[in-house]
Amino acid sequence: MSFLSYLCTVENCGIMAKREVVIKRAAEMIAELGVKSLRVDDLAHDLAVSKRTLYEMFGDKEELLYHSIKYLLQNEAIEIQTNANEAYSGIPALFEIFDAMMARSAVRKRIMGNLAKFYPLLYERIMTENRDYGLAILREKLNALVKEGLISEMVNIDLSITMFYYTSMGLMHRNGRLVLPNGVTEQEAFHYTIVNFFRGIATLKGVEQIDKYLAEKITK
């Protein structure tokens, strides 16, 4: 029995459920093979469905790529946030989220680099939506930290998240344009940027939380 047939033999498995199966499998293949190497023929064969069925579901390959890459990025973000929040709270939870994102950035950069090369309009669409999604999440978290007394009430949240987002994205996707000092890794530069950004907007209580987190990290 095929992967798709196994998941969709129950009576309540409708079109939306089948779409989710296709999107998930396509996302897995993109992560493994890359954007350019994903062929609709191969995906159809893998799922034991016709190529026509896939086109009826998504219209064209670009729409399939859009939903699959969006699924890939958002699922990664949810997994990282869940793991961080289980281990830490407050500002340290954000540090863990950003560090994990940087640690996993290689696959993301490869996918988005290929997307920009072969599907530039789709690249812009996904980058715009991903930016808006990321800024919304960061705004929500910073506002929560203000209420907890960890971030200063005087901080301009919208300006702060915008500056931080573009600085962090510059480090994640520098592609050789930003030359770091000898011996400094991208991960170290990213962590340094995060720590100093939050030190600048944190209250005394927030700075104490940051210092405690860093001290614990050093001892591990």
Reported as half-sphere exposure (CB side, CA atoms, 13 A), residue 192 has a value of 9
Q: What is the pLDDT of residues 145-194, one digit of tens each?
A: 999 999 999 999 999 999 888 887 777 665 556 677 888 887 888 889 89
Residue 22 has pLDDT above 80, yes or no: yes
Are both 30 and 95 inside the same structural domain? no
Distance separating alpha carbons of residues 154 and 201, to the nearest angstrom: 9
CATH number, domain with residue 168: 1.10.357.10
Query: Among the residues of the chain, which ranges form H helices?
Result: 3-7, 15-33, 40-47, 51-58, 61-87, 90-103, 105-118, 120-147, 157-172, 186-201, 204-219
Helix (H, G, I), strand (E, B) or coil at 184: coil
Q: Is 34 left (phi over 0), alpha (psi -120 to 50) or beta?
A: left
Number of structural domains the chain divides into: 2
Output the pLDDT for position 178: 65
Output the pLDDT for position 16: 60
Are both 1 and 97 inside the same structural domain? no
Assessment of whether the complete model's pTM goes beyond 0.95: no
- Residue after which a domain boundary falls, among 59, 80, 108: 59
Are both 72 and 134 inside the same structural domain? yes
Output the pLDDT for position 26: 96
Are both 115 and 167 inside the same structural domain? yes
> Which residue range is the domain that position 2 belongs to?
1-59
- Residue after which a domain boundary falls, among 9, 24, 59: 59
Output the pLDDT for position 152: 97
Are both 44 and 69 inside the same structural domain? no
Q: Is 181 left (phi over 0), alpha (psi -120 to 50) or beta?
A: beta
Are both 126 and 185 inside the same structural domain? yes
Are both 53 and 136 inside the same structural domain? no
Question: In DSSP terms, which residues pair with 202 in a beta bridge?
Answer: 151
CATH number, domain with residue 1: 1.10.10
Are both 76 and 166 inside the same structural domain? yes
CA distances from 97 to 28, 126, 156, 203, 220 (A): 22, 21, 22, 21, 18
Output the pLDDT for position 105: 84
